[in-house]
Homo-oligomer: A and B are copies of this chain.
Amino acid sequence: MSKAIGVMDSGIGGLTVAKEIMHQLPNENIVYVGDTARCPYGPRPSSEVKEYTWEMARFLYNQQIKMLVIACNTATAVVLEEIQTAFDIPVIGVISPGARSAVKYTKNDRIGILGTSGTIKSKAYETSLSHLRPSIETFPLACPKFVPLVESGEHAGSMAKKIIAETLVQLKNTNIDTLILGCTHYPLLQPIIEQYLGPSITVISSGDETAREVSAILAYRNELNARHEKKENRFYTTGSSKIFGQVARQWLQNEELNIQHVRLPRN
């Protein structure tokens, strides 16, 4: 069997990235690990985020993957470069692809960024955006209520509409033309966010754009699978495989997922 693409996240949010990779690259296999037992990473000190992320990275690396995707904004901000330097396979995070896509779409150089408090505090998107185009003005907004909405399965109801409206009202009068969803949970809220903002603002999902770059980089390295093999996607969680499985089956619209509990080896 050909090598898989490794995807890791502090929990379930990275499943939106995995789903998009499956959509864009149906010939590829994925091995996913979510550190649900220690989720969320956002409020943790960097040293812990670093330690836990390295545990997942080594676990996936030992599965003979051909590429590693850090599908977690917090972990990307803290430890991406270190892992890129250490590994002999391509390693990408979710921040640069989102920033790159926003630079493509904006016409007035005014870009909004939604994220968890940790991601917004890290200013990782601002750094990446100004690196690409110094003239860009950013409007970051922490949305601490969004992840709980998604985790509780309330991402499509009237409560979601209310919370999204109350949060995004702060972007009024900013005149942004592009908005980055800087958290892998947020794509599940995207329809309501787009409805609230109207058609004049382009909403970018970092996760979707990351999948796009996985495709581009594997093609550049001539490592895309040339044909469709029997799918062998595997999902590991450090927490309850039952709860993880419920969410994964719903999000990925697939009842037959190979989900296992895993105890990550210490570094």
Contacts and interface: CB of A to CB of B under 8 A. Distances in A.
A103 interface: yes
Tell me the dominant secondary structure on chain A's binding face. helix
Contacts of A24: 100, 103-104, 132
Nearest to A212: B104
A63 B224 CA distance: 31
Interface residues of A, number: 30
Contact of A100 (B100, B103, B215): B215
Interface string A54-80: 000000000000000000000000000
A218 to B, nearest CB: 10
Contacts of A228: 134
A138 interface: no
Interface in A1-54: 23-27
Contacts of A220: 90, 92, 213, 217, 220
Contacts of A216: 97, 100, 212-213, 216-217
A167 interface: no
A228 B132 CA distance: 9
A220 B96 CA distance: 10
Contacts of A131: 224, 226
Interface in A147-200: none
Nearest to A221: B220
A110 B23 CA distance: 14
A27 B132 contact: yes
Interface string A101-131: 1011000000000000000000000000001
17 contacts: A23-B104, A24-B100, A24-B132, A27-B133, A27-B134, A92-B220, A96-B219, A97-B216, A100-B216, A101-B212, A131-B224, A134-B228, A212-B212, A212-B216, A213-B216, A213-B220, A217-B217
Given A104-B212, A134-B228, 14 more contacts: A25-B132, A26-B132, A26-B133, A26-B134, A27-B134, A90-B220, A97-B216, A100-B216, A131-B226, A132-B215, A132-B224, A212-B216, A213-B216, A213-B220
Interface of A: 23-27, 90, 92, 96-97, 100-101, 103-104, 131-135, 208, 211-213, 215-217, 219-220, 224, 226, 228
